[in-house]
Amino acid sequence: MIATLLLVLVACAIGAFVIGRNRAIAIAGGKVASLHSRPSHHGASLAIVCVVPALALIVLWSIIAPNVMDTAVLSRFSAELADYGVPQIEGFLRDSRAVAFGGIAGFTDELTEQAAAYYQSLNATGNMILAAGTALFVLAGLYLGYRAIKLRTRARHLVERFILVILIACSAVAILTTIGIVLSLVVETFRFFQKVPATDFLFGLHWSPQSAFEGAGREALAQDQSKIFGAIPIFAGTLLITAIAILVAGPIGLMSAIYLSDYAGPRFRAVAKPILEILAGVPTVVYGFFAALTVAPFLRNLGESVGTSVSSESALAAGLVMGIMIIPFVSSLSDDVINAVPQSLRDGSAALGATKSETIRKVVLPAALPGIVSALLLAISRAIGETMIVVMAAGLAANLTINPLEAVTTVTVQIVTLLVGDQEFDSAKTLAAFALGLALFCITLTLNVIALRVVQKYRERYD
Amino acid sequence: MNENPVALGSEAETSSKTAVKMRGTGVDVFYGDKQALFGVNLDIPENQVIALIGPSGCGKSTFLRCLNRMNDTIDICRVTGEITLDDQNVYDPSVDVVELRARVGMVFQKPNPFPKSIFENVAYGPRIHGLARTRSELEEIAVTSLEKAGLFEEVKDRLHEPGTGLSGGQQQRLCIARAIAVSPEVILMDEPCSALDPIATARVEELIDDLRQNYTIVIVTHSMQQAARVSQRTAMFHLGYLVEEDETDTIFTNPSNPKTQDYITGRYG
Ligand SMILES: Nc1ncnc2c1ncn2[C@@H]1O[C@H](COP(=O)(O)OP(=O)(O)OP(=O)(O)O)[C@@H](O)[C@H]1O
Ligand SMILES: [Mg+2]
């Protein structure tokens, strides 16, 4: 029903547009320039006046109507439902709706059939009212809007303002969502800190939330509870893996960027750059099994052959593969900033007798440095947020170590394991995930802000 | 276009006055298949200013960039013929282009200071060529170069501020100081004043006149007045050919080629 109405509205909008435009042209009597607004503005504004109130009615209706119908059904059958509990009543309503409008009903009896019939009649009435209301709004809008079309009517302003409102609404969605996410993180983190002291979380050296004891006797163990949420080991693990990744991606990415921008011929560049960017598009889970099935065993065998023990899940394996994964970020962004260094600087340096590599080291790279730094920072925040590779290649053991040959775990991985499986929503274990999420968010936010600031500074330099 | 104009400034006359610093003989330049210069023969006299004039696209910059082999940086560019610096062919395989460019410096049309401090801009060349062994030597080179470029007084209090923060005219003088700092013998200038206002232009022109004592200068300019003011000799290019070369006074008062006549009187389209 509502879908049909919406289709009709679209048709109305198109019709109103044509009517409004033609009316405007007719009023202008051939001299379109004498209109304040273009004919198409008049058309669009008539369409808006016609359709937007009706649309609002439909939206409002589809929010309110189900509740109204439920209330009506409940009051009608209140006698029969007197001894039902809340879950039963909900089940009853669900089943009746299913019978009435199609769907899978769990349990049907005489009463649900009756309720279903009532639902259907309510719905039919409602739809008629809605259709009538919509038609009324459309016609009223059409009439008023049509009459309002005059030579000096400021239709353009209405259209512009309408567009502005839509733009604002869209950006509000993005902004409000972000604010909502951050707020919920903050609130849940706060609740977590009521169960586990913030200091224990931030400075504790022991992380094993899987041993959190749920159920009877929990209170007796409350003392130890807080001691298993020490986040230091997993932040250390994150740091270790990220550092390895940057050690791999930084030099390789930067040097390939230099090659691409200053040495490679245009034909090689045209091929190599897209390929590098494809590397960025490989799903991380593919990198993950590459890390777990190829790199990790290779490292372990290598370790055996030189006589050191490498655990089969190691920070090194995850870090190396993650490094490969973020090479495209570093190289592609750095290539862009290196290219942005004006050719005149290179010429100036060459004219002083500098060789190409001197020019790059002493003029081009320093000039591009801020951009390169921000490329690295973006790559780092990408690495910090990466989960899949680490789950598959670095393991779940929260070891506090800086030995890259051992298994470590990261913040993102722990968030996953905390939330996988059935969880009580307000257990300390679940809430810990929010605290970790908030901490991670703060870190990447800081990195991004720094990167942005650096880029801004860089922009000012050549103008 | 099958006439084959040759340099009219007779060699005997030139060399009787002053030594030849650089000499181009039969210089052809190709960009890919397109020929941009046709058999140019031109002498660059020592310790003088020679101006290259001619309509846009006639090959002035191309010739200038042959003199310090800046054309090497353009992949499709090919140079034939001979260009000598003190009787040594600069395109000879034994010549190190780094060394050549240290001896033949260049100042560009648009000021292009490095995004470094004023001091670092000037110290850049001496550093890469190892001209100074100590910091104080380096500072001395920087200060003398800035003084010669007539910029020192204006910037002495802010040597460590970015060179890009200077005005356009100051930036161009900084670029000249940067070129001087490696003690070149020849300085090539490609329209060095075209991005400057008249006052800054006057300063740079004064500077060019001073520099003539110690350096050989080749300047490309679109301003006839500028050519007349700063140069002793003038070479007129047209469509890739060197049309005429003579003393600046002669060129401007009594040119022998009608094309030159048209160009300097502004009748050229
Ligand atoms: N990098 C290049 N690639 C291809 N052709 C070029 C290149 N540089 C110059 N040319 C061509 O060579 C010819 C001479 O150019 P050049 O820059 O030497 O002219 P110019 O006399 O300096 O002109 P202007 O006074 O406008 O600077 C022109 O036809 C130009 O199109
Ligand atoms: Mg030019």
Is the C-beta atom of B56 inside 6 A of ligand 1? yes
Report residue B55 as tokens: 């309509």
Check residue B1 and give its pLDDT: 40
Residues A147 and A270 in one domain: no
The answer to the question of residue A148 being in a domain is: yes
Tell me the count of A-B CB pairs closer than 8 A: 68
Residues A124 and A26 in one domain: yes
Question: Of the candidates A284, A296, A303, A454, which has an alpha carbon nearest to the alpha carbon of residue A385?
Answer: A284
Check residue A462 and give its pLDDT: 52
The answer to the question of residue A242 being in a domain is: yes
Residues A7 and A121 in one domain: yes
Question: Of the candidates A145, A209, A216, A183, which has an alpha carbon nearest to the alpha carbon of residue A411?
Answer: A209
* Side-chain-side CA neighbours of residue A356 (13 Å): 9
Residues A134 and A252 in one domain: no
| Three-state SS annotation for chain A | CHHHHHHHHHHHHHHHHHHHHHHHHHHHCCCHHHCCCCHHHHHHHHHHHHHHHHHHHHHHHHHHHHHHHHHHHHHHCCCCCCCCCHHHHHHHHHHHHHHHHCCCCCCCCHHHHHHHHHHHHHHHHHHHHHHHHHHHHHHHHHHHHHHHCCCCCCHHHHHHHHHHHHHHHHHHHHHHHHHHHHHHHHHHHHHHHHHCCHHHHHHCCCECHHHCCCCCCCHHHHHHHHHHECCHHHHHHHHHHHHHHHHHHHHHHHHHHHHHHHHCCHHHHHHHHHHHHHHHHCCHHHHHHHHHHHHHHHHHHHHHHHCCCCCCCCHHHHHHHHHHHHHHHHHHHHHHHHHHCCHHHHHHHHHCCCCHHHHHHHHHHHHHHHHHHHHHHHHHHHHHHCCHHHHHHCCCCCCCCCCCCCCCCCHHHHHHHHHCCCCCCCCHHHHHHHHHHHHHHHHHHHHHHHHHHHHHHHHCCCC
Question: Of the candidates A371, A398, A369, which has an alpha carbon nearest to the alpha carbon of residue A241?
Answer: A398
Estimate the share of chain A in helix, then strand, then coil, as percent rounded to the nearest 5: 80, 0, 20
Residues A306 and A441 in one domain: yes
Please give the average per-residue pLDDT across A149-178, as a whole number.
Answer: 91
Which position has the higher pLDDT, B53 or A222? B53
* DSSP three-state, residue B134: coil
Chain A residues closer than 8 Å to B70 by CB: 347, 350-351
Please give the average per-residue pLDDT across A429-433, as a whole number.
Answer: 84
Rg (CA), chain A: 32
Question: Of the candidates B61, B28, B54, B59, which has an alpha carbon nearest to the alpha carbon of residue B255?
Answer: B54
Check residue A289 and give its pLDDT: 85
How many CB atoms lie under 10 A from the CB of residue A51?
A: 25
CA distance A178 to A432: 20
Residues A147 and A235 in one domain: no
Report residue A10 as tokens: 């679209």
Under DSSP, the state recorded for B40 is: E
In A210-353, which residue ranges form alpha helices assigned H by DSSP? 222-225, 232-258, 266-281, 284-290, 296-306, 315-340, 343-351
Report residue A123 as tokens: 């719905």
The answer to the question of residue A199 being in a domain is: no
| Shortest alpha-carbon distance between residue A268 and chain B (Å) | 15
Burial class, A52, CB count within 10 angstroms (exposed 0-12 / middle 13-18 / buried 19+)? middle
Check residue A14 and give its pLDDT: 94
Closest chain A residue by Cα to residue B111: A344
Pick from B128, B141, B161 the residue to mutate for testing the A interface (most A CBs within 10 Å): B128
Check residue A38 and give its pLDDT: 86
* Residue B178 near chain A (CB below 8 Å): yes
CA dihedral A162, A168, A172, A175 (to 10 degrees): 160
Q: Per DSSP, what are the bridge partners of residue B245?
A: B235
Residue that is last in its domain, among A153, A188, A216:
A153
Report residue B53 as tokens: 């004039």
| In the predicted structure, residue A54 carries a pLDDT above the cut 60 | yes
CA distance A95 to A112: 7
Is the C-beta atom of B45 inside 6 A of ligand 1? no
pLDDT in tens, B18-60: 788 999 999 999 999 999 999 999 999 999 999 999 999 999 9
How far from chain centre, in Å, is Cα A186? Answer: 18
- Which amino acid belongs to residue B176? I
- Given a contact cutoff of 8 angstroms between Cβ atoms, the answer to whether A42 and A149 are in contact is yes
- Which amino acid belongs to residue A214? E
Report residue B127 as tokens: 């550093």
Residues A244 and A370 in one domain: yes
Residues A427 and A300 in one domain: yes
Q: Which of residues 390-409 of A touch B (CB under 8 A)?
A: none
The answer to the question of residue A187 being in a domain is: no
CA distance A426 to A418: 12
Interface TM-score (ipTM) > 0.95: no
Q: How many helices and strands (H and E) does chain A possess?
A: 18, 0
Q: How far is CA B86 from CA A195, B185, B234, in A?
A: 86, 10, 21
Estimate the share of chain B in helix, then strand, then coil, as percent rounded to the nearest 5: 40, 25, 35
Check residue B16 and give its pLDDT: 44
Sign of CA dihedral A37, A40, A41, A47: positive
Here the CATH number for the domain that contains residue A318 is 1.10.3720.10
Number of domains in chain A: 2
Cβ within 8 Å, pair A351-B105: yes
Length of chain B in terms of residues written: 269
| Shortest alpha-carbon distance between residue B9 and chain A (Å) | 29
Q: Which segment of A185-199, A244-258, A366-380, A448-462 scores lowest on mean pLDDT?
A: A448-462
- Given a contact cutoff of 8 angstroms between Cβ atoms, the answer to whether A451 and A374 are in contact is yes
CA distance A339 to A331: 12
- Which amino acid belongs to residue A235? F
Rounded to the nearest angstrom, the distance between the alpha carbon of B41 and the centre of ligand 1 is 19
Check residue A429 and give its pLDDT: 80
pLDDT in tens, A284-320: 889 888 888 888 888 888 888 888 777 777 888 889 9
Cβ within 8 Å, pair B106-A353: no
Cβ within 8 Å, pair B101-A350: yes
Check residue A226 and give its pLDDT: 65
**Which protein residue's CA is at the shortest distance from atom 28 of ligand 1?**
B57
* Residue B218 near chain A (CB below 8 Å): no
Q: Is A217 left (phi over 0), alpha (psi -120 to 50) or beta?
A: left
CB neighbours of A446 closer than 8 A, spacing ≥ 6? none
Confidence of residue A459 (pLDDT cuts 50, 70, 90): low
The answer to the question of residue A211 being in a domain is: no
Residues A146 and A243 in one domain: no
The answer to the question of residue A237 being in a domain is: yes
- Residue B54 CA: nearest ligand 1 atom is 21
**Which protein residue's CA is at the shortest distance from atom 24 of ligand 1?**
B56
Average pLDDT by consecutive 10-residue portion of chain B (269 residues)? Answer: 43 56 93 93 93 93 93 89 92 89 91 92 92 91 90 90 88 92 93 84 89 92 92 93 92 88 75
* Residue B164 near chain A (CB below 8 Å): yes
Cβ within 8 Å, pair A349-B106: no
Check residue A179 and give its pLDDT: 94
Residue that is last in its domain, among A132, A153, A174:
A153
CA distance A122 to A100: 11
- Determine phi and psi for B246, rounding to 5 degrees: -165, -175
* DSSP three-state, residue B84: strand
Residue that is last in its domain, among A153, A168, A188:
A153
* DSSP three-state, residue B164: helix
Check residue B14 and give its pLDDT: 44
CB neighbours of B215 closer than 8 A, spacing ≥ 6? B47, B180, B184, B185, B186, B187
Report residue A99 as tokens: 């019978």
- Given a contact cutoff of 8 angstroms between Cβ atoms, the answer to whether A352 and B125 are in contact is yes
Under DSSP, the state recorded for B75 is: T
The answer to the question of residue A178 being in a domain is: no
Residue A43's domain spans which residues? Answer: 2-153
Confidence of residue A422 (pLDDT cuts 50, 70, 90): low
Pick from B73, B85, B114 the residue to mutate for testing the A interface (most A CBs within 10 Å): B114
**Which protein residue's CA is at the shortest distance from atom 16 of ligand 1?**
B59
Please give the average per-residue pLDDT across A111-140, as a whole number.
Answer: 90
Cβ within 8 Å, pair B105-A352: yes
Pick from A265, A351, A353: which is nearest to B129 by CB?
A: A353
The answer to the question of residue A223 being in a domain is: no
Burial class, B157, CB count within 10 angstroms (exposed 0-12 / middle 13-18 / buried 19+)? exposed
Residues A394 and A306 in one domain: yes
CA distance A249 to B3: 61
The structure tokens 């969605």 sit at A173
Residues A128 and A30 in one domain: yes
Which position has the higher pLDDT, A259 or A315? A259
Check residue B267 and give its pLDDT: 67
Of all residues in chain A, the percent with pLDDT exceeding 70 is 94
Confidence of residue A366 (pLDDT cuts 50, 70, 90): confident
Q: Characterize the bridge pairing of strands B241-247 and B77-85.
A: unpaired
- Given a contact cutoff of 8 angstroms between Cβ atoms, the answer to whether A407 and A335 are in contact is no
- Which amino acid belongs to residue B14? T
Is the C-beta atom of B57 inside 6 A of ligand 1? yes
Is the C-beta atom of B65 inside 6 A of ligand 1? no
Chain A residues closer than 8 Å to B75 by CB: 265
Please give the average per-residue pLDDT across A368-394, as a whole number.
Answer: 85
Ligand closest to B242 (CA) is 1
- Which amino acid belongs to residue B40? V
Rounded to the nearest angstrom, the distance between the alpha carbon of B205 and the centre of ligand 1 is 25
Residues A143 and A258 in one domain: no
Check residue B6 and give its pLDDT: 44
* Residue B98 near chain A (CB below 8 Å): yes
